[in-house]
Amino acid sequence: MTLVDISSGAHKSGGETWGVYCSTKAAGVVLHQSIGKEQENCRVLNYSPGIMRTEMQETIAKGVDSPSKQFLAKVLDQNKEVPIAESVAKLLEVLEQDTFETGSYVDIYDSRGPPL
């Protein structure tokens, strides 16, 4: 069995007005790393799909002003988000290659480069 956690680069550090989101993403990564070590028959992958144009991102980009909000708005305004189909294709590629170490964290930006 393979378990995929849809993570976020936000797990790496806190952000103004993003404390709960960042901390829950960090907790999710660590939880899934632990599951990968504890469950012998379960392969675990933490996957960060990148910034995509979703209803959640659109709402955040128009929300409370903060450095994180300004960055997100800039990414979306410049159409630099990751196309959903591209992110899904990358996830499927990683799963099909099946070379990741259980508990690994894969970020689409590691292969694509940062959005800005």
* pLDDT tens, residue by residue, 93-112: 999 999 999 999 999 999 99
* Contact present, 38 and 60 (Cβ < 8 Å): no
Secondary structure string (H, E, C) spanning 51-108:
CCCCHHHHHHHCCCCCHHHHHHHHHHHCCCCCCHHHHHHHHHHHHHHCCCCCCEEEEH
Q: What is the pTM of this model?
A: 0.91
pLDDT tens digits for range 6-60: 999 989 988 888 899 999 999 999 999 999 999 999 999 999 999 999 998 888 8
